[in-house]
Amino acid sequence: MLLTVYALGITGVLAREAVLLAAIPSAVLTTMFAEEYNILTSESSTTILATRVLSFVTIPLVIMATRS
């Protein structure tokens, strides 16, 4: 997303918000749908866990990368 923002020439707060929103972990709603329809429940739970753990590193890096 960072490269996309730079390629489109988006700057300032809008660029920072777009990149930060792309860096946040996956939503829990996917696991709720997986449980409801009994499809890929373990995969969706694993994805949620992995993105949460990775976000502890990626979000601070994204914030540092988008500082003006």
| pLDDT-based confidence at residue 68 (cuts at 50, 70, 90) | low
Both tokens of residue 47?
């994805």
Question: In the chain, how many domains are there?
Answer: 1
Residue-wise pLDDT tens digits, 4-50: 888 999 888 898 888 888 888 878 888 889 999 999 999 999 999 99
- pTM of this prediction? 0.67
| Cα–Cα distance, 17 to 43 (Å, whole number) | 29
What pLDDT does residue 53 have? 93
Cβ contacts of residue 7 below 8 Å, gap of 6+? none
Both tokens of residue 56?
């502890």
Residue 44: which domain range? Answer: 2-65
What pLDDT does residue 62 have? 86
